[in-house]
Structure 1
Amino acid sequence: MLLSMPYLGHSLSGWGLSFLSLCFILLLQRATGAGRELKFVTVVYRHGDRSPISPYPKSPRFIYANILWPQGPGQLTRQGIRQQYKLGRYLRKKYKNFLSSQYKRKEIYVLSTDRDRTIMSAQANLAGLFPPEGKQIWNHRIAWQPIPVHTLSRKNDQLLTYPILECPRFLKLLKETMDSSEFKLKLKKYMPLLGQIAPQLGYDVKTLLDVNNHKLWNAYDTLLVENIYNQPGPSWADQATMYKLRSLLELAVTAVFGDHKREEKARVQGGLLVKGILNQITKAATTSDPRKMMMYSAHDITIIALQSALGVFDKKLPPYAACHFFELYKEADGKYTIEMYYLTDITKGPAPLTLPGCSKACPLDKFKQLVAPIIVDDWTAECQKA
């Protein structure tokens, strides 16, 4: 016996259409981040691999610098060019649905410190980010096009070059830090190491302890770069010693920008860059400015000063081509949020950074509120405070 069933043709047809519409909406939401829209990106990166900045007095092999590094000290190497080109290709892939496929000058602004290695790093990065396409191809044998890289004069750079020593307030805070019992206790365990390596380098211990002259930093850097290029180092600079030296330098830079009165230091150091970045982000959120990306080509110390000001520094020296991201999103409810990421290895991808006191996707207004203590209106006046 056949059971009598109602005719479902029209209802199934309508249901099927509704189901397909629902699927389309869900897929669309997933593709667009459930209604959120990326509105602006700021990237701050360290330059690529370079030659040593300067030799230490007893450096035995720096006489071969013209062979190993023919362009001289502190210059971007071929490896550094490749690193930045790869970072540019990474940015192209990451933001392929955000940036135009072809270079548009109104979409991106690139600012570099006035150093050969950072200017060249920006150029190499842009070669990977915006290879010429279509009518932008001017030579079929060269997959490159000129893109403006702007610079700040070394004398007036208070945005990307740190530490800024022409600030009495900062120097006083720095002295307080170095004189603090907490820092002295941390430094104590490194004193035997300094006593051991100082004569090997050609310095006295007092000179190496002066964080303002960069002697220890440059000596470590020379040894590190020579090691990267498989040059035999002095017998005393073994792996254990280099690890201790790196740890000492990480202690030093953390003390310079953080630890004791971190926020007060940030007001006259990395807070200046935070302020500049926030101004750009706010403009993107409140106007119809066509700019989509701000790119800063700078140094490891720039990243350290920035992250210390934000309270997200992991107390590790940034590697070549390390990159800090700020992403501004417009959420489905019309409000804006900021997300931060830190890239140190392209193969592993960026790690999320969370501003202390906020969530990963930090509301823009709350972000501003949380960083307000490190933002100043008059840097000169702040530097003159007793």
Structure 2
Amino acid sequence: MVCLGWKQTWYHASIRLQENFSKRLLNPNRPITSMPLKAHRTVIAVAVLANLLRVAMCRELEYATVFWNAGAYSPMYTETNGLYFLTHYYWVHGAGTITNVGLQQSYALGQYLHGRYAELLTQPCYKGALFVKSTDDDIAISSALAVVAGISPILEYDVWNGSDTTWRPIPIRVSSPNDDDYLSLPKSGEEYNSLRDKIFSSDWMMNYMSNESDFFETLYNKTDKHWNITNIYEFAADVSMVLQQPTLSVLASLIGNDGTIDALHQVYSIYLGSLFTDFPGQYTTAVSKLQGGVLLNHVVQDILDRANEPREMPVLTGYSVPTTTLVGLLVTLGNYDWVAPDVSSAIMIELYNDSGTYQIEVHYRNGVNTINPLKIYECDYSCPLENFTYIAERFLAADAEIEGGSGSSSNTTIDDDENDDSEDDTSIATCDGILIGFISALFIVSFLSIGVIIYLLGKARAPNASEFDRL
């Protein structure tokens, strides 16, 4: 049973508090008379609170979908940005390839996901519990391999190459270039191209370019090249990748001071966001119906299928995608803050079963520094599946539908007379058994606690009585 929300936070906090008081109370090196009686009562109160929270936590994580981008890679546009001289000396695998630093970052993300979903992945990943798909480019595929190696560490009985190989190959699916690849955003098309042109020629964008004219002039003086919002992203992306390499960060001084670097990052963030929306949000819905909404509705369909068949594999689906795809999904979810995702970032969409009622939680890991829950429009951080499905339907194209969703209300409890409810009944019955077990444990712990308190109070009073008699 897994809970990553406020219940788990308070539950573990109460457990730690209970353990601290227990250690103080039962410390053989501490005189029992030095422990005030109110601390004994606190131990009981905390124990009761912990057990009550344990009873209340009948909430199970059943499925998760994770999107991530790659770790650091060598600059892609070295020929146009004057970095070609580094390609053969530093990035020996060439331009646009994941670096050793990037592999380490992707592997660390996999380790984080392994820890987060350890109780969900009760079966080995190669048995079908994990499904991973990547877009068809070398960086994304390499990242997928490194992340999976971190998610599924090798077990002792799985060592297949002596003791030197610390991972077991897990299948990775790759999107075919000939398919309608919904993982690669933005997808070109006449309608989308028209909307994108409107965004880049909007008053908001023109005002932004005007306000940044001094910055673009500074770059022109350094590079002898005219820059604007539509071509500077290549330069900004390359600089960002250079800064990821510790031994090359000194090259930043050739570009400018920290203010110049920050301005480059901001321009890059504005460019990525403008592929899917404008700052006033006038084009968000229209673009999302062609881009992030398509991806979101694929996710919702997978979630609905999993809610109907909670015992089916896989239980964790991962997608290795470009940074632009992460931005498009964040825009559709209403959570792009105009700061470009760092390398090795992830969006985690989780399905919980709370006593038969399904809920969605979305978390965003921006690089390795922050992990934040996302509030999806008017929905709370823990969003009923029915509400989440309704939000996704806003971004359906006119000729698209979510099976079982569009045109009909989704049943949050997934209780359909035409379906076999035996598995749901088993889940609820199991939950009831857990409740009974916890309640029984609560009574046993309470009686044991009272006995311990009576014994300790007796021990505490005995020395005091003898001292009173001597007086």
Asked if TM exceeds 0.5, the reply is: yes
Q: Is this contact kept in 2: 1:102–1:133, CA < 8 A?
A: no
**Equivalences for 1:30-49 in 2 at 5 Å?**
30=54, 34-49=57-72
Cα separation, partners in 2 of 1:241 and 1:137, compared to 1, 3 Å:
same
Q: Is this contact kept in 1: 2:78–2:87, CA < 8 A?
A: no
Indicate the residue corresponding to 2:185 in structure 1.
Answer: 162
Q: What amino acid is the match of 2:157?
A: K
Cα separation, partners in 2 of 1:218 and 1:105, compared to 1, 3 Å:
farther
TM-score normalised by structure 2 residue count: 0.69
**Equivalences for 1:199-210 in 2 at 5 Å?**
200-205=222-227, 208-209=228-229
Higher relative contact order (CA 8 A, sep 6+): 1
Q: Is this contact kept in 1: 2:297–2:393, CA < 8 A?
A: no
Q: What amino acid is the match of 1:344?
A: N
Cα separation, partners in 2 of 1:283 and 1:28, compared to 1, 3 Å:
farther
Indicate the residue corresponding to 1:361 in structure 2.
Answer: 382
Determine the C-alpha separation between the residues in 1 that align with 2:266 and 2:49: 52
Q: Pick one of 385, 393, 396 that aligns with 1:372.
A: 393
Determine the C-alpha separation between the residues in 2 that align with 1:363 and 1:235: 51
Q: Is this contact kept in 1: 2:103–2:146, CA < 8 A?
A: yes
Q: Is this contact kept in 1: 2:111–2:151, CA < 8 A?
A: yes
Cα separation, partners in 2 of 1:179 and 1:318, compared to 1, 3 Å:
same
| CA displacement at 1:201 relative to structure 2 | 3.5
Indicate the residue corresponding to 2:296 in structure 1.
Answer: 274
Q: Is this contact kept in 2: 1:56–1:202, CA < 8 A?
A: no
What is the SS of the residue equivalent to 1:163?
A: coil
Indicate the residue corresponding to 2:313 in structure 1.
Answer: 290
Runs of at least 4 residues off by over 6 Å: 23-26
Identity %: 23
Indicate the residue corresponding to 2:241 in structure 1.
Answer: 225
Determine the C-alpha separation between the residues in 2 that align with 1:234 and 1:70: 23
Q: Pick one of 326, 337, 342 that aligns with 1:319.
A: 342
Greater alpha carbon shift after TM alignment, 232-241 vs 144-153:
232-241
Cα deviation digits, residues 273-325 of structure 1 (max 9, x gap): 10111111111101242220110011211110011011111211111100110
Indicate the residue corresponding to 1:303 in structure 2.
Answer: 326
What is the SS of the residue equivalent to 1:52?
A: coil
Determine the C-alpha separation between the residues in 2 that align with 1:271 and 1:41: 18
| CA displacement at 1:91 relative to structure 2 | 1.2
TM-score normalised by structure 1 residue count: 0.83
Cα separation, partners in 2 of 1:55 and 1:375, compared to 1, 3 Å:
same
Cα deviation digits, residues 64-122 of structure 1 (max 9, x gap): 21111011111111111111111111111111111126324321110001111111111
Indicate the residue corresponding to 2:75 in structure 1.
Answer: 52
Q: What amino acid is the match of 2:302?
A: Q
Indicate the residue corresponding to 1:255 in structure 2.
Answer: 274
**Equivalences for 1:1-386 in 2 at 5 Å?**
27=51, 30=54, 34-55=57-78, 57=80, 59=82, 61-100=83-122, 102-139=124-161, 140-165=163-188, 167-198=189-220, 200-205=222-227, 208-209=228-229, 211=230, 215-229=231-245, 230=248, 231-233=250-252, 235-259=254-278, 260-287=282-309, 288-332=311-355, 334-346=356-368, 348=369, 350-376=371-397, 378=399
Q: Tell me, which stretches of 5 or more residues in structure 2 are unaligned?
A: 1-43, 401-471
| CA displacement at 1:28 relative to structure 2 | 8.6
Determine the C-alpha separation between the residues in 2 that align with 1:374 and 1:33: 35
RMSD, matched Cα:
2.4
| CA displacement at 1:340 relative to structure 2 | 0.4
What is the SS of the residue equivalent to 1:80?
A: helix
Task: Tell me the number of residue pairs that the alignment of Structure 1 and Structure 2 aligns.
Answer: 347
Between structures 1 and 2, the one with greater helix share: 2
Q: Is this contact kept in 1: 2:72–2:244, CA < 8 A?
A: no
Cα deviation digits, residues 238-293 of structure 1 (max 9, x gap): 32112112212222222221233101100001111101111111111012422201
Determine the C-alpha separation between the residues in 2 that align with 1:245 and 1:150: 35
| CA displacement at 1:351 relative to structure 2 | 0.8
Determine the C-alpha separation between the residues in 2 that align with 1:188 and 1:370: 36
| CA displacement at 1:216 relative to structure 2 | 1.4
Q: Is this contact kept in 2: 1:324–1:343, CA < 8 A?
A: yes
Indicate the residue corresponding to 1:11 in structure 2.
Answer: none
Q: Tell me, which stretches of 5 or more residues in structure 1 are unaligned?
A: 1-19, 380-386
What is the SS of the residue equivalent to 1:196?
A: helix
Q: Is this contact kept in 1: 2:153–2:167, CA < 8 A?
A: yes
Indicate the residue corresponding to 1:10 in structure 2.
Answer: none
Indicate the residue corresponding to 2:408 in structure 1.
Answer: none
Cα deviation digits, residues 139-192 of structure 1 (max 9, x gap): 332111111111112353532212112x11111111222222222222211123
| CA displacement at 1:24 relative to structure 2 | 9.8
Determine the C-alpha separation between the residues in 1 that align with 2:181 and 2:165: 36
Q: What amino acid is the match of 2:110?
A: G
Cα separation, partners in 2 of 1:25 and 1:136, compared to 1, 3 Å:
farther
Greater alpha carbon shift after TM alignment, 195-204 vs 259-268:
195-204
